[in-house]
Amino acid sequence: MAASALPAPILSRAAEAPRRPPRLRRGDVVGLIEPAGFSDGPEQVEAVRAAIAAMGLVPRVGAHVAARYGYLAGTDVQRAADINAMYRDEEVRAIFAIRGGWGSARLLPLLDWDVIRANPKLLIGLSDITALHLAFAARAGFPTLHGPNAANSWQAISWNSLWRLAFSGEAPELSLAPPVLPLSAPEEGDSEGEDGGGRGLVTIRPGKARGRLIGGNLSVFSTLMGTPWLPDFEGAILFLEEVNEAEYRVDRMLNQLALSGILGKVAGVIFGQCTRCAIGVPGYLGFTVPQLLDHYLAPLGIPAVRGANIGHVGNQLCLPSGAGVELDAGAGALRLLEPIVG
């Protein structure tokens, strides 16, 4: 679905609930930040501005978005300053990350958590933005949205789930199944390749579970283990995805989650796409990613699915990180327990 043809109904106003970000409306100002890698240049930033404007929103670009520092979009101080400024700015109603890469975790000690907690606003992005989603779940006290970065495509499923969660303020039931045809194209610069997690949704263990939805990119998640920036996973619904990681690395990271006790704490697991996670060596006789997921998740005895429509693929689902949800693994559905915006 092209960004220039994004349909929208007329919204009625609703009272804002405490500790919820404000819902988005046509004409709202939203911030654009680069907390990790730098964009491909002014042309990409202008394309992002146009895509956000096509949503009916008014983009406000962070002061340091054009900066570069090594492979980062400016120094840590500059990138953190843009996030802090967006949460201080009373006109800004939500914040979109332009892209991922690496570097968001470097910002966590530099963020003004008092300001962020006092000004709930949706943070939207994926991949390296996982570091921010996890830290917000631990420190901010309000949900964020794990969905496409602003520079990614906003196809029908991505846009419709964003609309229902952020604009209309619903508490919807979301299908976790990926679209059947055509196959979604990988995002974040990845070429089409084998999906180690499988294209279809597979129920590892059926059943229902309720809890706080927390997770993101597996690699980024693992880098925060042992730090004070992870939230409590007791009774949580864990969601994970990955890209460009060989099977043995996925094994290593899942084992780390098991040894840390996190897998033993959660009430349910959603594993999304593992794009280009097959090593591709002729005659390879090792484990596949689906085999690894079955190995680590099936013995937990909790509702679990793999192959969900999240991760580094186009037309992915937006997920409300930090929100209360019910996972129905047998039906492949996720239901919000209450709206994430007021």
Query: Could you tell me the CATH number of the domain that includes residue 148?
Result: 3.40.50.10740
Q: Which of 167, 184, 202 marks a domain boundary?
A: 167
Residue 21's DSSP bridge partners are none
Query: φ and ψ at 25, to 5 degrees?
Result: -135, 155
Report pLDDT for 75. 98
Is residue 228 assigned to a domain? yes
Same domain, yes or no: 205 and 274: yes
Contact 313, 184 (CB under 8 A): yes
Three-state DSSP class for residue 182? coil
Q: Is 182 found in the same domain as 155?
A: no
- Which of these is catalytic: 241, 242, 245, 247? 241
Q: Contact, 217 vs 102, CB < 8 A?
A: no
Same domain, 87 and 159: yes
Q: Are residues 116 and 186 in the same domain?
A: no
| Residue 253 counted as domain residue | yes
Which structural domain, as residue segments, surrounds residue 88? Answer: 3-167
Any catalytic annotation for residue 43? no
Spot the catalytic one: 127, 184, 219, 321: 127
Query: Is residue 44 a contact partner of residue 66, using CB atoms and an 8 Å limit?
Result: no
Q: Confirm whether 74 is domain-assigned.
A: yes
Dist CA 121 CA 118 (whole Å): 10
**39 & 140 share domain:** yes
Query: CA–CA separation, 21 vs 320, rounded Å?
Result: 12
Considering the domain architecture, whether residues 14 and 140 belong to the same structural domain is answered as yes
Instruction: State residue 282's pLDDT score.
Output: 87
CATH number, position 297: 3.50.30.60
Chain length of the chain: 342
Nearest of 214, 215, 198 to residue 274 by alpha carbon: 198
On whether both 66 and 134 belong to a single domain, the answer is: yes
Residues 63 and 200 in one domain: no
- The count of domains in the chain is 2
* One domain for residues 233 and 328: yes
pLDDT tens string, the chain, 342 residues long: the values are 444 444 443 333 333 334 899 999 999 999 999 999 999 889 999 999 999 999 999 999 999 999 999 999 999 999 999 999 999 999 999 999 999 999 999 999 999 999 999 999 999 999 999 999 999 999 999 999 999 999 999 999 999 999 999 999 999 999 999 997 544 445 553 333 334 445 699 999 999 999 999 999 999 999 999 999 999 999 999 999 999 999 999 999 999 999 999 999 999 999 999 999 998 888 898 999 999 999 999 999 999 999 999 999 999 999 999 999 999 999 999 999 999 999
User: Which is catalytic among the residues 39, 312, 321, 326?
Assistant: 312
**Domain termination site, one of 141, 167, 193:** 167
Q: What is the pLDDT of residue 187?
A: 53
pLDDT of amino acid 3: 42
In a domain, 342, yes or no: no
**295 annotated active-site:** no
Residues 110 and 17 in one domain: yes
Q: Is residue 100 part of a domain?
A: yes
133 is catalytic: no
Distance CA 77, CA 75 (A): 5
The pairing of beta strand 92-97 with beta strand 122-125: parallel
Rounded CA separation 258/236 (Å): 15
**63 located within any domain:** yes
| Half-sphere CA count of 37, side-chain side, radius 13 A | 15
Q: Are residues 105 and 150 in the same domain?
A: yes
Give yes or no for a contact between 161 and 250, defined as CB atoms under 8 angstroms apart. no
Is position 67 within any domain?
Answer: yes
Of 167, 195, 228, the one marking the end of a domain is: 167
pLDDT at 281 (0 to 100): 85
| Residue 9 lies inside a defined structural domain of this protein | yes
Residues 193 and 120 in one domain: no
Angle CA 218–136–325, to nearest 5: 75
- Per-residue pLDDT, 280: 82
